[in-house]
């Protein structure tokens, strides 16, 4: 008996591992479908509070979806225009920065005693000359059309997500209630079932009369209880996911705008680009924050050829990021959604392998959502996994 139990546990374990592996491979192979779908669901959670308010005042669903699409288009167009204009301005000033970078590298090499001609006669132009611009331009155009196509694909999915989410919610709820109330139905269909077993299963006393009407009443009571329970659980999961997504996007956006404005005040060139860097890369905790810190600090060093100014810019970016992501964000989200640093590392690697750069940006939000779902489960095993994913001590 013990051997049989261990065998069943081993089979279950390997089945789960194989299932997760297959799901990962499917997500990787069908990334062109799943990535827009996941982003569309993120958009759904972002617009959920607005859509809920509009539904309360009896605005038709098609008008709500149209408004969401218009807002998304306007936001995407505005951000794209700002980024493109900034990069065009950067390309015009590139020769100036090339000259300053050459001087910094050459002078640094001489001051620390490096005699390698590559460093003492450093030329950034020589490095750029090795780039195949034809393939680069082709790649840029391909990427641009790919992004445009993905935006349309995301909005296509978004329409169906907004219109079909409630139906999906009801299907999950009814299926859960059906599974949970099966024992009661099974008790009625087994002719030889003892009265005591039926009483225990339906949670009635031995002195009660287990008639057909009382059994039906008890089954309906069980169904109503399970339906209320799953409704509360699903609403809790939805609210937590919505709160996390909106807070994370809001924090990143707030930090990006603040850093863009402050760096502009302190005279750093292309402050808007560095603000966009902060917004995007802080979806990846620690790693993204480091990238968002190094890039403007390096730009400050090249622009001013002053280590002091570069350290000032680095301190400003680090201070603002700390205020937003180490103070404000935990205050709003609470410590319950804190992820273990090892979980963050592995999630970035795994989702990066599956979906590339987009996967790395979405890795932590996706992992946090998985943790939310697991934490609301009744399974002791899943709750244990949720505790392992948490950084709470």
Mean pLDDT by 10 residues, the chain (393 residues): 60 81 91 89 88 90 92 85 78 78 78 73 65 50 56 87 80 67 49 45 49 61 68 75 84 93 93 89 81 90 88 94 88 70 84 86 83 77 79 61
Query: In sequence order, what DSSP letters do the residues of 127-175 get, joined into one string?
Result: HHHTS-HHHHHHHHHHHHHHHHHHHHHHHHHHHHHHHHHHHHHHHHHHH
pTM given for the model: 0.71
- What span, in angstroms and rounded, lies between the C-alpha atoms of 304 and 311? 11
Give the burial class of 362: count Cβ atoms within 10 A of its Cβ; 0-12 exposed, 13-18 middle, 19 or more buried: buried
C-alpha to C-alpha distances, 37 to 95, 108, 359, nearest whole angstrom:
42, 49, 13
Helix (H, G, I), strand (E, B) or coil at 48: helix
Query: In sequence order, what DSSP letters do the residues of 206-221 get, joined into one string?
Result: TTS---HHHHHHHHHH
298 domain-assigned = no
Helical axes 31-56 vs 212-265, angle rounded to 10°: 100
Q: Which two tokens stand for residue 251?
A: 């924090």
237 domain-assigned = no
**Domain membership of residue 143 as a residue range:** 10-162
Q: Which two tokens stand for residue 107?
A: 């002078």
Taken in order 335, 337, 343, 347, is the CA torsion positive or negative? negative
Q: Where are the alpha helices (DSSP H) in the chain?
A: 2-29, 31-56, 61-92, 94-111, 117-120, 124-129, 133-180, 182-189, 195-202, 212-265, 271-281, 287-304, 307-322, 329-333, 341-375, 380-389
Q: Which two tokens stand for residue 316?
A: 């400003």
Q: What's the domain count of the chain?
A: 1
- What span, in angstroms and rounded, lies between the C-alpha atoms of 299 and 156? 39
373 domain-assigned = no
150 domain-assigned = yes
Dihedrals phi, psi of 57, to nearest 5 degrees: -100, 20
pLDDT of residue 226: 66
- What span, in angstroms and rounded, lies between the C-alpha atoms of 371 and 240? 11
- What span, in angstroms and rounded, lies between the C-alpha atoms of 168 and 206? 40
Q: Which two tokens stand for residue 63?
A: 């008008």
Taken in order 145, 149, 155, 158, is the CA torsion positive or negative? negative
269 domain-assigned = no
24 domain-assigned = yes
Identify any residues that bridge with 313 across adjacent strands, giving them in sequence order: none
35 domain-assigned = yes
134 domain-assigned = yes
């Amino acid at each position: 008996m013990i051997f049989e139990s261990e065998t069943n546990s081993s089979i279950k374990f390997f089945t789960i591992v194989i299932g997760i592996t297959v799901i990962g491979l499917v997500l990787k192979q069908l990334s062109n479908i799943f990535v827009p779908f996941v982003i569309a669901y993120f958009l759904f959670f972002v617009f959920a509070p607005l859509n809920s308010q509009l539904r309360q005042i009896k605005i038709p669903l098609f008008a709500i979806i149209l408004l969401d699409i218009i807002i998304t288009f306007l936001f995407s167009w505005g951000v794209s225009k700002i980024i493109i204009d900034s990069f065009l301005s950067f390309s015009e000033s590139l020769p100036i920065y090339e000259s300053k970078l050459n001087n910094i590298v050459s002078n640094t090499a001489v001051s620390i005693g490096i005699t390698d001609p590559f460093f003492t006669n450093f030329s950034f132009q020589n490095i750029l000359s090795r780039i195949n611009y034809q393939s680069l331009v082709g790649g840029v155009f391909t990427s641009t059309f790919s992004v445009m196509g993905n935006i349309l694909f995301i909005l296509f999915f978004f329409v169906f997500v907004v219109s079909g989410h409630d139906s999906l919610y009801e299907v999950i709820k009814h299926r859960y209630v059906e599974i949970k109330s099966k024992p009661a139905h099974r008790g009625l269909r087994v002719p030889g079932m003892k009265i005591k077993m039926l009483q225990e299963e339906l949670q009635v006393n031995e002195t009660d009369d287990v008639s057909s009407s009382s059994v039906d009443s008890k089954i309906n009571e069980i169904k109503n209880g399970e339906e209320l329970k799953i409704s509360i659980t699903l609403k809790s999961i939805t609210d937590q996911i919505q709160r996390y997504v909106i807070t994370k996007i809001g924090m990143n956006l707030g930090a990006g705008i603040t850093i863009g404005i402050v760096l502009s005040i302190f005279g750093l060139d292309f402050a808007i680009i560095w603000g966009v860097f902060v917004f995007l890369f802080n979806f990846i905790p620690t790693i993204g924050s480091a990238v968002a810190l190094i890039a403007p600090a390096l730009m400050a060093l090249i622009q001013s050829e002053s280590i002091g100014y570069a350290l000032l810019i680095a301190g400003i970016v680090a201070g603002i990021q700390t205020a937003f992501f180490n103070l404000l964000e935990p205050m709003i989200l609470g410590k319950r959604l804190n992820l273990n640093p090892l979980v963050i590392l592995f999630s970035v690697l795994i989702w990066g392998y599956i979906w590339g750069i987009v996967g790395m940006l979405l890795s932590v939000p996706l992992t946090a959502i998985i943790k939310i779902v697991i934490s609301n489960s009744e399974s002791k095993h899943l709750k244990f996994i949720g505790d392992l994913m948490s950084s709470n001590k």
